[in-house]
């Protein structure tokens, strides 16, 4: 079994990663840190190569989180995937038999989450394993 942490380019990802490392250490499990890029929807007749944007986003995420991952007292695996983040995270956790999926919330509020969607909300409903949602106000306290 493993612990899976979903991260992105937000400040919350450091808090999520810190908590996921704690959970994996307590459970004596490997941690898979998963960054999912959602390719932009483009409504144009001209083909657009989003590879550079995707790679830049990935570099920024791993540059920010790399030191914490490298200093973790457990085995940490970095994973890059593409697709709709909540579905990809849940599918990954299920495929690898995760015992826990750790995600953050940005604290957008009910209306914004309704319009923009919520990775944590969807993960809670779809995941086969337990889901730990790290709340945005925890980021201010850390």
pLDDT by residue (tens digit) across 103-141?
998 754 554 444 445 889 899 999 999 999 998 765 444
Check residues 63 and 52 and name the one with the higher pLDDT.
Answer: 63
Q: If you average pLDDT over residues 75-98, what whole number do you get?
A: 97
The per-residue pLDDT for 142 is 47
The per-residue pLDDT for 38 is 87
- pLDDT(62) > 90: yes
Longest dimension (CA), the chain: 51
Which run of H or of E encompasses 121?
Answer: helix 119-126
pLDDT tens, residue by residue, 23-54: 999 999 999 999 999 877 666 666 667 788 88
Burial code of 57-77, b = ≥16 C-beta within 10 A, e = fewer?
eeeebeebbeeebeebebebe
The per-residue pLDDT for 137 is 67
């Amino acid at each position: 079994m493993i612990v899976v942490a979903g991260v992105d380019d937000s400040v919350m990802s450091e808090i999520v990663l810190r908590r996921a490392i704690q959970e994996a250490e307590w459970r004596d499990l490997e941690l898979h840190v998963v960054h999912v890029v959602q390719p932009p929807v483009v409504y144009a007749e001209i083909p657009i190569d989003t590879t550079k944007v995707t790679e830049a986003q990935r570099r920024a995420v791993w540059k920010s989180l790399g030191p914490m991952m490298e200093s973790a007292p457990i085995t940490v695996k970095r994973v890059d995937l593409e697709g709709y983040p909540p579905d990809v995270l849940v599918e990954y956790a299920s495929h690898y038999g995760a015992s826990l999926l750790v995600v953050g919330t940005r604290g957008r509020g009910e209306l914004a989450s309704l319009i923009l969607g919520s990775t944590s909300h969807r993960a809670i409903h779809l995941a086969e394993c337990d889901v730990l949602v790290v709340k945005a106000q925890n980021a201010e306290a850390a």
